């Protein structure tokens, strides 16, 4: 097991290094001057552009820029010299002239919003999806199964942004059950009730489509597992259907959920752009979208690298968990 962990961690680090190089290369080698995007309306002044180019390190070859970038991740980085120098402590992902702030600081401010959104949505869709899937499989061909099929069809047909807009129109504007979202995020530790109130509709928006997919997946997995020989053996021993479902069927059928949930959570944590935009939440999605509109390359590079690191880390966690769940994974690896 120890050797398997070492190999998976080493592979993940190598992939993360390759992704960081590819992402940095793509944005650094684009066919325009990144320094000209850092000074707004003053970018018609060659002196300002050249000063920003030197301050951001764009005046050195690409390979040296990447080495300096890697050094900033571990030791921090100074932009400029003397009293006007700007220090971004480790891990430094760059400096945004548009926002006049270190990229790491901007991401640190936005990450709790996206993390709260992703965690809450994942918990909601797992509860709803697994419950409806098990019920649909348990009462296959009955009204409960038909109702779950309708839910799956609606959930997989509606785009996320349309679900969010419908919730805003009816729940917030027409029925006024929840106040209109202001965009002022409240931390869980400051006011838990207001925190939940702000994120409730975004949770439902994100969880709706995923819950539908999980319902269909769990239903099919449970039905398939119920036809296995060990289930027939359990019935032959006289075990009740509830015991068979709880102790035997679910454990075998829901094991792949760990993989699906981990990767879906990584995708959400990487930035739920449309949902954050619809509900005006100051998360990673809105930060990334604003950076794209304003051509803020340091934020785009930082957010992309963070998203890639999250996906790679979740893949590693899922693989390790799967190795504990199924020892055959360790043998095959």
Q: What is the CATH number for 123?
A: 1.10.3720.10
Asked if residue 6 belongs to a domain, the reply is: no
Asked if 314 contacts 292 with a C-beta cutoff of 8 angstroms, the reply is no
> What is the pLDDT at residue 38?
74
Same domain for 39 and 94, yes or no, is yes
Boundary of a domain, candidates 58, 80, 103: 103
Helix H or strand E segment including 144: helix 143-157
Q: What range does the domain containing 284 cover? A: 104-293
pLDDT digits (tens, 9 = 90+) for 231-272: 888 888 888 878 888 777 887 777 778 778 887 888 787 657
Same domain for 273 and 250, yes or no, is yes
The owner of tokens 């829901």 is: 254
- In terms of pLDDT, which residue wins out, 240 or 132? 132
Asked if residue 315 belongs to a domain, the reply is: no
Total number of domains in the chain: 2
- In terms of pLDDT, which residue wins out, 228 or 126? 126
pLDDT digits (tens, 9 = 90+) for 197-227: 889 999 999 999 899 999 999 999 888 888 8
Asked if 95 contacts 56 with a C-beta cutoff of 8 angstroms, the reply is yes
Beta strands in the chain (DSSP E): 77-79, 86-88, 95-96, 101-102
Same domain for 155 and 251, yes or no, is yes
pLDDT digits (tens, 9 = 90+) for 273-328: 888 888 888 899 889 888 888 888 889 889 888 888 888 888 888 877 776 665 55
Same domain for 99 and 116, yes or no, is no
Same domain for 130 and 39, yes or no, is no
Same domain for 143 and 233, yes or no, is yes
In this prediction the pTM is: 0.84
Mean pLDDT, residues 31-56: 76
Q: Is the omega angle on the peptide bond into residue 91 within 30 degrees of 0, that is, cis? A: yes
Asked if residue 230 belongs to a domain, the reply is: yes
Boundary of a domain, candidates 69, 86, 103: 103
Asked if residue 129 belongs to a domain, the reply is: yes
End-to-end CA distance of the chain: 10
Same domain for 173 and 214, yes or no, is yes
pLDDT at 152 over 90: yes
d(CA 297, CA 36): 11
d(CA 52, CA 38): 7
Same domain for 232 and 287, yes or no, is yes
Same domain for 110 and 82, yes or no, is no
Asked if residue 65 belongs to a domain, the reply is: yes
> What is the pLDDT at residue 148?
93
Same domain for 156 and 259, yes or no, is yes
Bridge partners, 102 (sequence order)? 95
Q: Tell me the pLDDT band of 113, cut-offs 50, 70 and 90.
A: very high
Boundary of a domain, candidates 103, 125, 142: 103
Same domain for 203 and 231, yes or no, is yes
Across all residues in the chain, what is the average pLDDT?
85
pLDDT at 83 over 80: no
């Amino acid at each position: 097991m120890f050797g398997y962990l070492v190999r998976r961690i080493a592979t993940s680090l190598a992939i993360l290094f390759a992704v960081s190089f590819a992402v940095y290369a793509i944005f650094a080698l684009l066919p325009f001057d990144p320094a000209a995007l850092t000074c707004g309306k003053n970018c018609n002044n060659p002196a300002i552009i050249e000063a920003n180019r030197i301050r951001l390190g764009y005046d050195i070859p690409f390979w040296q820029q990447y080495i300096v970038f890697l050094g900033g991740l571990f030791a921090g980085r100074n932009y400029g010299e003397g009293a006007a120098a700007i220090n971004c402590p480790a891990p430094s992902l760059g400096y945004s002239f548009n926002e006049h702030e270190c990229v790491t600081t901007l991401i640190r401010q936005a990450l709790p919003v996206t993390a709260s959104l992703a965690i809450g949505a994942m918990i909601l869709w797992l509860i709803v999806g697994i419950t409806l899937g098990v019920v649909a499989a348990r009462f296959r061909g009955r009204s409960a199964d038909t109702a779950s099929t309708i839910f799956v069809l609606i959930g997989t047909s509606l785009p996320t942004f349309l679900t969010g807009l419908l919730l805003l129109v009816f729940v917030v504007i027409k029925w006024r059950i929840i106040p209109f979202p202001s965009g002022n995020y409240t931390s869980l530790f400051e006011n838990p009730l207001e925190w939940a109130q702000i994120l409730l509709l975004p949770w439902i928006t994100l969880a709706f489509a995923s819950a539908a997919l999980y319902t269909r997946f769990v239903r099919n997995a449970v039905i398939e597992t119920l036809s296995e020989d060990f289930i027939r053996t359990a019935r032959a021993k006289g075990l009740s259907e509830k015991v068979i479902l709880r102790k035997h069927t679910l454990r075998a059928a829901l094991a792949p959920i760990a993989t699906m949930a981990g990767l879906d959570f990584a995708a959400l944590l990487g930035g739920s752009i449309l949902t954050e935009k619809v509900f005006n939440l100051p998360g990673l999605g809105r930060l990334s979208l604003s950076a794209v509109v304003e051509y803020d390359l340091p934020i785009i590079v930082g957010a992309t690298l963070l998203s890639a690191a999250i996906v790679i880390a979740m893949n590693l966690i899922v693989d390790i968990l799967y190795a504990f769940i199924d020892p055959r994974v360790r043998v095959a690896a």
